[in-house]
Every structure is written in C-alpha cells, then in structure tokens.
C-alpha cells in the first residue's frame, strides 16, 4: 500500500503503528520536484503533509526513505516527520544507499521494522493463525544490533526468540525454544 492510503488510514482508523517507505508529502509536490510547471495540472488525492497532522499519539509512525531516491526525494519524509504532532512516537530512518526501488531487504527494511516494533513494545506473541515457523536457516547476522539472531542452521544453535515459538527444522523434527531476543542461550 502506498504512503497516501497508509497515512490516510492511519489518521482515520488509529492503528497501533504505521510504516511508510519512500513516502511523499503530496503527489503535486512530487510532480513539482520533477517538472514544476506541470504541478498545477495535477489533482491532489492524498495530501500527506496535511493528513499526517491528524495522526494522534495512539499511532506510532516509522518513516523509511533512501537518500538516493531520485523519484521521491527523502526531504518528503523529513517534512512529513516535522508535521507530526510532538506527542506522536515517531522515527525517521534515512538510508544512505537506498533508492526508490533498490534497497537492502534486511538492513533497510527488516532490521528497522524489528527495532521499531521493540521500541513501541509491539506484541509479537504468536496468534492462533501463526503457531509455528517453518525455517531451514536462522535470521540475519547483525553485529550492530544488540538483540541479533545469527545466520546458522537452527539445529546448530539455540535461539532466544520473543515468546514460546515452535520451529520446524524438518517435517519430522520439532524444537521449541523460549526466550526474549536477548541473544543465544
């Protein structure tokens, strides 16, 4: 979903959190950045710069943007962040190497997601729909992230995961681990 509908729904529905990637202030502003004289011809459907002002403290906001984004300059996310109410828990991450369409899936997305979820104490308990994980390998190595998981075969390490989680190493092999993302045990 794009940043326009995301910010709109965030202001209307009051979710626990919203995350935008390469968000824009308005379509008209994007056109103005590219071909300024045509921006007057563009109708405005999602004015995120105004709509983001209506997000309340019940909704945390994470803005991700690449400094090398040539389609939607990262200044759009900076402006969105500055228009958020001061009582809204928010964070902006500007990745040095990310463009609009090219990014490191882990470093630019997954890692910031998990850090943000921990910061806002987002409940990651398994639900009835998600009771087990089928994985051959563990997650990514990240020495800079103090609560990291290591890239290794799950059968070779004991992971410390958020809550009771069943991990299926092989169809006939199950292993339960318990923990709090505090490293290996």
Report pLDDT for 129: 54
Q: What pLDDT is stored for residue 138 in this prediction?
A: 35
Are the beta carbons of 39 and 67 closer than 8 angstroms? no
pTM listed for this prediction? 0.67
Domain positions in the chain: 3-119, 132-177
DSSP state of 58: T
Reported as half-sphere exposure (CB side, CA atoms, 13 A), residue 54 has a value of 13
Mean pLDDT of 164-169: 48
What CATH number does domain 3-119 carry, 3.40.50.1820, 3.90.650.10, 3.30.70.3150, 3.40.30.10? 3.40.50.1820
Q: Taking the CB of residue 20, how many other CB atoms lie within 10 A of it?
A: 24
**Does 15 have pLDDT greater than 50?**
yes
Q: pLDDT-based confidence at 103, cuts 50/70/90?
A: very high
Residue 180 in contact with residue 160, Cβ under 8 Å? yes
40: pLDDT confidence band, cut at 50, 70 and 90?
Answer: confident
Q: What is the mean pLDDT of residues 64-79?
A: 97
Mean pLDDT of 33-44: 84
Q: 3-class DSSP state for residue 48?
A: helix
Which three-class secondary structure string do you get for 90-123? EEEEEECCCCCCCCCHHHHHHHHHHHHHHHCCCC
What is the mean predicted confidence (pLDDT) over 47-70? Answer: 96
């Amino acid at each position: 979903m794009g940043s326009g509908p995301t910010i709109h729904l965030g202001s209307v529905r009051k979710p626990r959190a919203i995350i935008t990637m390469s968000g824009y202030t308005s379509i008209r502003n994007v056109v103005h950045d590219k071909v300024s004289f045509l921006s007057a011809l563009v109708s405005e459907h999602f004015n995120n710069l105004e709509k983001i002002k209506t997000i309340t403290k019940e909704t945390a906001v994470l803005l991700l943007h690449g400094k090398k984004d040539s389609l939607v300059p990262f200044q759009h996310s900076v402006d969105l962040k500055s228009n958020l109410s001061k009582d809204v828990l928010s964070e902006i991450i500007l990745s040095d190497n990310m463009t609009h369409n090219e990014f490191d899936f882990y470093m630019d997305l997954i890692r910031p997601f998990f850090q943000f979820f921990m910061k806002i104490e987002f409940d990651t308990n398994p639900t009835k729909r998600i009771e087990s994980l089928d994985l051959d390998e563990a997650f990514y190595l990240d020495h800079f992230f103090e609560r990291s998981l290591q890239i290794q075969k799950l059968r070779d390490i004991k992971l410390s995961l958020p809550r009771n989680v069943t991990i299926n190493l092989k169809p006939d092999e199950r292993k339960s681990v318990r923990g709090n993302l505090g490293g290996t045990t």
